[in-house]
């Protein structure tokens, strides 16, 4: 089992560019989450999904969109990147108990 | 309003010097409290889940305990490989499937 995987691992964008981060899990979990982690701020929830075809907003959803077309995949999109979105992004999946995290994507927006 | 507060922010221990990390929470209707370990450049790794006051869980040199307002992660005779950031998270009845994380305690164990 690969667990939770994320692509890409690193990315540099210019302000205004768009991109999609991909999260995949092979544990058949219903719940999937996108977090961002910034120094001194801890992990903050961006969006989450409670099942295929569903999405919901978390604590900091502005500037991001998500889709869950397949149970095993959860995509995070940035339509027009801003420097404030420079962060490390983590995906997690859960069977409604403990979460399992991916290795993260380090995103820099110039 | 902070849901989860961890202290101290950073802790330096000599190898073998036992100590405790604190996680206090203000949510009502606790569904679960979770401890994770995070190494630099990696995603958090699950350690323990605690569900009710008085519960304890152990794994090697780590022991987690839970009261109605806080949880402690006790580290007994730590080794340098225990150096990491330890994160606490809570899941509350009113928050559905969301988890609230503390900002973590950065632990350094000196040989």
B contact residues 5-34, partner A, Cβ 8 Å cutoff = 32, 34
* CB-CB under 8 Å, B87 with A48: no
Under the banding of pLDDT at 50, 70 and 90, the label for residue B98 is confident
A81: tokens are 């990147």
Average pLDDT for A54-61: 93
Average pLDDT for B55-61: 96
Average pLDDT for B48-65: 96
Average pLDDT for B67-73: 94
Q: What is the mean pLDDT of chain B?
A: 93
**Quick check: B57 contacting A, CB < 8 Å?**
no
**Alpha-carbon distance values, A85 to A18, A22, A108 (Å):** 12, 16, 8
A80: tokens are 């027009």
Q: Output the pLDDT for position B95.
A: 66
Q: Output the pLDDT for position B30.
A: 86
**Sign (positive/negative) of CA torsion B27, B32, B35, B40?**
negative
Percent pLDDT > 90 in chain B is: 82
Q: In this complex, which of A48, A90, A100 lies closest to B98 when CB atoms are compared?
A: A48
Please identify which residue in the block is written with the tokens 């809570």: B90
CA A67 to chain CA centroid, nearest Å: 10
Let me know: does B55 contact B66? Beta carbons within 8 Å. yes
What is the per-residue pLDDT across A92-108, written as a single tens digit (0 to 9) for each?
999 878 899 999 999 99
B16: tokens are 């073998």
Q: Output the pLDDT for position B54.
A: 95
SS3 B57: strand
**Quick check: B46 contacting A, CB < 8 Å?**
yes
In this model, does residue B1 exceed pLDDT 60?
no
In this model, does residue B34 exceed pLDDT 70?
yes
Q: Output the pLDDT for position B2.
A: 57
SS3 B80: helix
b/e B23-37 (16+ beta carbons within 10 angstroms → b): bbbebeebbbbbbbb
* CB-CB under 8 Å, A33 with B99: yes
In this model, does residue A52 exceed pLDDT 70?
yes
């Amino acid at each position: 089992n690969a667990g939770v995987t994320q692509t890409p691992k690193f990315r540099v964008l210019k302000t205004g560019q768009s991109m999609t981060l991909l999260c995949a899990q092979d544990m058949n979990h219903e719940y999937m989450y996108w977090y961002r982690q910034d120094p001194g701020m801890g992990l903050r929830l961006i969006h989450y999904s409670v099942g295929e075809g569903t999405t919901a907003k978390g604590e900091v959803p502005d500037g991001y969109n998500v889709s869950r077309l397949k149970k095993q995949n959860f995509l995070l999109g940035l339509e027009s990147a801003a420097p404030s979105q420079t962060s490390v992004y983590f995906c997690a999946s859960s069977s409604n108990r403990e979460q399992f995290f991916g290795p993260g994507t380090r995103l820099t927006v110039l | 309003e902070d849901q989860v507060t961890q202290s101290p922010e950073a802790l330096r221990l000599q190898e073998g010097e036992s100590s405790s990390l604190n996680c206090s929470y203000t949510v009502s209707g606790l569904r679960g409290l979770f401890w994770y370990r995070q190494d630099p450049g990696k995603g958090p790794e699950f350690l323990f889940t605690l569900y009710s006051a008085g519960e304890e869980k152990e794994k090697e040199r780590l022991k987690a305990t839970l009261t109605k307002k806080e949880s402690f992660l006790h580290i007994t005779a730590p080794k340098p490989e225990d150096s990491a950031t330890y994160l606490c998270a809570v899941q509350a009845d009113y928050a559905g499937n969301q988890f609230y994380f503390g900002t973590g305690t950065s632990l350094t164990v000196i040989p």
